[in-house]
Every structure is written in structure tokens, then in C-alpha cells.
A and B are shown apart, each in its own frame.
Chain A
Amino acid sequence: MAETTTEGLAFAGLQFIEEGDAITFAIDASVYPLAAVYGASFTFIDRAYVFLSERDGGFAATLRHKKAPEGDVEAALQALAGEFANELLACAYREKLTEANRATLEAITMQAIGGAMGPPSLDELEDFDFSDEPFEDPLGIAMSWEEKYGKKEEKGTDG
């Protein structure tokens, strides 16, 4: 929930102040990691000028419309601020989810790779039955094209 402070509007871990035609966010780095700040900024660089800096152990993001908004400039800036705050929150949450699932993803990937590439253990080799008969192939499916249709060498020649 937003609350009004002497510096402007404040969200959890996030404050912004209007500075002329720009708006500057003070971002708490413990709530919003740099990757989230990058992610949110990247989605805005097509319509706003975004500049990031360090501030009080966290970050500051300054946004300015590329094209001067029509109508109420202050309302347009506040709308931009709200959208940026939403995007920042979404990016931070996505980052947390990725971080939380990283171990699971790595474990699954390692199992898949290990299963595909790992050599059999000695016990497994010991249990393997090498005396199996070669499988029957009455339709010649396992035969190569040359074996099946290639020219047969003539057996026995005259003279």
C-alpha cells in the first residue's frame, strides 16, 4: 500500500520523488536486487530515458518520458512511476522464484545428464546378460540399404 511521505509516495522498499520532468526512485537493494532493477529498466527504455545510480547502499532509478506527455504532466509522471513500481515488483518476484527453483532445476538437469552419460557401475556390468541371442529381424528392418538392395556380388564365374 502506498503512503504519502515528505519526499513523495512510498511503497515497501521503494520511494519516488518528482524532479521537474523526471521521476527518481530510491530502491532498497535488500528488497529489489540489481537483476530485478535491470529487468524493470529494460522494459522501459523504449519509451523513457532510464538512468541508474547508487544511493544509500541501494539504487536510484531516474525515469523521464522520451516524448513530452500530452495533458497533465504530473499525472503522466505518476502513471509512469506506478507502472515502473509494478514492473519492478514483478521482476523481483520472478528473480526470487528462479532463485528458489534453481536447486531443483540443477538437480533434474544433473540427473538427466548423469543418466545419459554416466558409465555403468561394475555391479551393473556384472548383472548384464551377454549371452542374449541377437534379436530376430525377419523383415530386415535392421539391415542397411546396401545389404538389402545393393548389387549382389556374382558368385562363381565361368572359366
Chain B
Amino acid sequence: MAERSLHFSKSIYAGKQVDAAINVYAPYAEIERAEEPGAWVVKIVASSEGRAKKLEGELANYALGLTIRARKAVES
């Protein structure tokens, strides 16, 4: 089993969108979420290092995309 973790800064990522991204990728790995003072911490446990790394990248992209889209919607 391989483990990776992401620290999503609260000033950059919207918590709701990070949660949405976790829900999308939850079927593919064990994903745990935790909260620190300045960040949401997401721990990914997958069957191999390659899979964990790929899921880490995909989840981060998804959360970023949703955060940007949500921000644009608020601005307009």
C-alpha cells in the first residue's frame, strides 16, 4: 500500500470543492480528510505508489478546477 497526502491551503482552495473532489475519487482509494488551522489535509492510500500519485494529481486538479469555477460564478 502507498500513501500520499495533500495540504490544501484554506486561502487558495474552497473547502466545499475539496470535499466534492474527495467524493469523486473516493471509490478509487482510501481517502481520509482532516483539518489543520490553515489547511485541509487529504490522505490518499492506494494499492501502489503509481496509483496513489496519479490519484493525488487528479484530485488536486479537480479541487482546483471546482474552486476556480465557483469563484468565477461568485464574481459574475
Contact = CB atoms under 8 A, between A and B. Distances in A.
Contacts, number: 38
A54 interface: yes
Contacts of A45: 61, 64-65
Nearest to A39: B68
B60 interface: yes
A54 B60 contact: no
Query: Interface of chain A, helix or strand or loop or mixed?
Result: strand
Nearest to B60: A51
A51 B68 CA distance: 13
A49 B58 contact: yes
A38 interface: yes
Nearest to A54: B9
Given A34-B12, A54-B12, A59-B12, A49 B71 contact: no
A82 to B, nearest CB: 21
